Amino acid sequence: MDIKGLQSGYGISSAFPATGTKDARPTSVAESTGKFFGELVGKVNDLQLQADSEIQKLATGESKGLHEVMLAVEKSGIAFQFLNQVRNKAIESYQEIMRMQV
């Protein structure tokens, strides 16, 4: 059994660049969080546009596969629910930090 380390490429290296490289520039938490949420919203939007496109194709008769349309709709629905839960957790965390006494 081969166990790979975090630097072996599970998408983590792009999120946390090495400090010794020339390309690594320090980013603030707000920048990286904003970028994360921006990408997440963009991906969810793309899935919803794909689902709308599949519905349009089914309505016009271009597509005969109802199962493909239902898969696209469910995929976009689950992605939206995930985005909503991430948003709720972020707001909850922010509110918890605001309640802390310094």
Residues 6+ positions from 51 with CB-CB distance below 8 Å: 69, 72, 73, 75, 76
State the Cα–Cα distance between residues 39 and 73, nearest whole angstrom.
20
Please give the helix or strand (H or E) that residue 78 lies within, else none: helix 66-99
pLDDT for 57-84, tens place per residue? 999 999 888 999 999 999 999 999 999 9
Q: Is residue 73 part of a domain?
A: yes
Spell out the alpha helix ranges (H) of 6-65: 12-15, 29-60
pLDDT for 10-58, tens place per residue? 444 444 455 555 555 657 888 888 898 999 999 999 999 999 999 999 9
How high is the pLDDT of residue 33?
Answer: 85
Q: Is residue 19 part of a domain?
A: no
Q: Is residue 15 part of a domain?
A: no
3-state secondary structure of 10: coil
Q: Is residue 27 part of a domain?
A: no
**Structural domain total, the chain:** 1
Q: Residue 85 is part of which domain span?
A: 34-102
How high is the pLDDT of residue 80?
Answer: 95
Q: Is residue 24 part of a domain?
A: no
Between helix 66-99 and helix 29-60 the angle, nearest 10°, is: 160
Q: Is residue 39 part of a domain?
A: yes
